[in-house]
Structure 1
Amino acid sequence: MASIDLNSDLGENSADRVVGDDAAMLEIVTSANVSCGFHAGSPEGIRDTLAAAVRNGVVIGAHPSYRDYENFGRIDVEVDSATLQAHIEYQLGALEGLARSVGGTVGYVKPHGALYNTIARDERRAADVVAAIRAIDPRLVLLGLASGVVLDVAERAGLQVAAEAFADRSYLPDGRLVPRPQEGAVLHDPAAVAERMVRLASDGVIRAIDGTDIPVNAQSICVHGDSPGSVAMAAQTKRMLQDAGITISPFARPGAGV
């Protein structure tokens, strides 16, 4: 693999809940998944993050969620198709408007948290999210879990897609992420995280939690902005990828897809 994208979930800070250092992360990553307000963040904070992304030349992605601010969007929510589609359309429209206000454009969509994991396996809700993206802007690229159902649904609907791997999360042998409540689900050692991602970019494999190697074809790597030590992990991952001869570059271009 000659190049790979490095992304982070940002725009999630608010006065009563500060979870990450957006300014520092935006000096490292090539793509920013910016909260749309349903799971975290505030309008003014999200706008500030978007402006900083524009200043740093970082590609902006929309990071919509279930409407679940209390649980940070990490609890699965039962919602009918019409409601889910409307909620995603609302969030994409709001973020696109804020991005334009600071001279930016949204280039892709990466759903957040429980919704992200649900559409990796649930075709009905995957189709709802895809329908919302098509309704707002069919040029937007969908970023989803490598091997997730949503990527197939999106491609069949005519969307461009990109697959993602997680630097700071453990994997099950079937390619799904280890659930967050399970011990060992979230990784914290910058050197170990970086070594895993160099192997991913070079060989297309990740070591699963049971010790087996699983194939993962990904065009982007995520370091969660709210993880402890996330900036150090992102910086070391970028440095070690570059040392291994891997170019760090965005997978999407605003208004032009991949």
Structure 2
Amino acid sequence: MKLNPKGYPIDLNADLGEGGTNDEALLQLITSANIACGGHAGDQSSMQTTVKIALASGVNIGAHPSFPDRENFGRQPMIISDQELSTSLNQQIGSLKAVCSSLGAKLFHVKPHGALYNQAAFSERLGQILINAIKRIDPSLKLMILAASPLVPLARQHGLTVIEEAFADRTYLADGSLAPRTMPGAIIEDDNQSIKQVEQVLANRPLTTLDGSMLQLKADSICLHGDNEHALRFAQKIAEYLKNK
């Protein structure tokens, strides 16, 4: 059963607006875009540019907020008060929502970035801050988050629609978290390994984690990192694979 305009049986998303050179090409292949909105990358100009192309490409538009830490690209845990984080999330998501409104586009979902993504998936405190921020801005916004993580049922309990996400270019640990980028093998660089992981997710077959365990995931969306040097090639191959499913 084909579930979206590009004929894929699952949503294919990428993190964009982060200064990468492949955004426009990726937007022709993916079905959802997570657009940086000032926390780790992105500004008014990049948001406008990316939203315009996403709108023309018929791609679902999502906000991609992070810890307010451009220096570390949002990939380091950050000591920040709950109020500071809440204020930053409101600003980031609100900024992209305003850009969308000005261009006649609709903000569809929110997907946190980097360390915030990884921590909020397992921290009830951070997860609740994220949920509250989304509900304040627009409770109809969907939350895209790590498949099978504790944040999934928490967000649903609070009335949010959740998009459970699996990855085509990252490996996992036994607890379902993403293997840290510092670990050898954490980033998938081989086309065949990436396609195999997508195939396993689609078929609902267990994945072999980096520490040798078997992990069962059920996902609504597959992610590619737009800043991965292999992103465009992976996207082309995955898109071709999905079209033939």
Q: Which runs of 5+ in 1 are unaligned?
A: 14-18, 246-258
Q: Kindly state the Cα deviation for residue 198 of structure 1 after the two structures are TM-superposed.
A: 1.3
Mapped to 2, the partners of 1:42 and 1:86 lie a distance apart of 17
Q: Kindly state the Cα deviation for residue 189 of structure 1 after the two structures are TM-superposed.
A: 1.3
**2:45 aligned partner:** 44
**2:88 aligned partner:** 87
1:130-174, CA deviations, whole angstroms, 9 ceiling, x for partnerless residues?
Answer: 000000000000010012222222111111111000110011122
The alignment status of 1:5 with 2:11, answered yes or no, reads: yes
**2:102 aligned partner:** 101
Q: Kindly state the Cα deviation for residue 206 of structure 1 after the two structures are TM-superposed.
A: 2.0
Residues 10, 20 of structure 1: 8 Å contact kept = no
Mapped to 2, the partners of 1:178 and 1:20 lie a distance apart of 26
Larger relative contact order (C-alpha < 8 A, sep ≥ 6)? Answer: 1
Q: Kindly state the Cα deviation for residue 238 of structure 1 after the two structures are TM-superposed.
A: 1.8
Residues 110, 144 of structure 2: 8 Å contact kept = yes
Residues 65, 115 of structure 1: 8 Å contact kept = yes
1:33-84, CA deviations, whole angstroms, 9 ceiling, x for partnerless residues?
Answer: 0001110122212210110000000000010010000110001112222221
Give runs of aligned pairs for residues 142-221 of structure 1, distance below 5 A.
142-221=143-222
RMSD of equivalent CA atoms: 1.3
Residue 7 of structure 1 aligns to which amino acid in structure 2? N
Relative to 1, partners in 2 of residues 1:36 and 1:101: Cα closer, same or farther, differing over 3 Å? same
Scaled by the length of structure 2, what TM-score is found? 0.94
Residue 18 of structure 2 aligns to which amino acid in structure 1? E
Instruction: Tell me which moved more, 30-39 or 41-50.
Output: 41-50
Which 4+ residue blocks in structure 1 deviate beyond 6 angstroms? none
Mapped to 2, the partners of 1:74 and 1:210 lie a distance apart of 22
Relative to 1, partners in 2 of residues 1:204 and 1:101: Cα closer, same or farther, differing over 3 Å? farther
Residue 86 of structure 1 aligns to which amino acid in structure 2? T
Q: Which runs of 5+ in 2 are unaligned?
A: 3-8
Mapped to 2, the partners of 1:161 and 1:203 lie a distance apart of 18
**1:249 aligned partner:** none
Mapped to 2, the partners of 1:164 and 1:98 lie a distance apart of 25
Residues 11, 49 of structure 1: 8 Å contact kept = yes
**1:127 aligned partner:** 128
Scaled by the length of structure 1, what TM-score is found? 0.89
Mapped to 1, the partners of 2:193 and 2:86 lie a distance apart of 39
Q: Kindly state the Cα deviation for residue 188 of structure 1 after the two structures are TM-superposed.
A: 1.1
Mapped to 1, the partners of 2:21 and 2:214 lie a distance apart of 31
1:77-132, CA deviations, whole angstroms, 9 ceiling, x for partnerless residues?
Answer: 12222221111111111001111222211100000000000101110011001000
**2:56 aligned partner:** 55
Mapped to 1, the partners of 2:225 and 2:81 lie a distance apart of 28
Secondary structure of 2:33 counterpart? strand
Residues 10, 34 of structure 1: 8 Å contact kept = yes
Residues 23, 52 of structure 1: 8 Å contact kept = yes
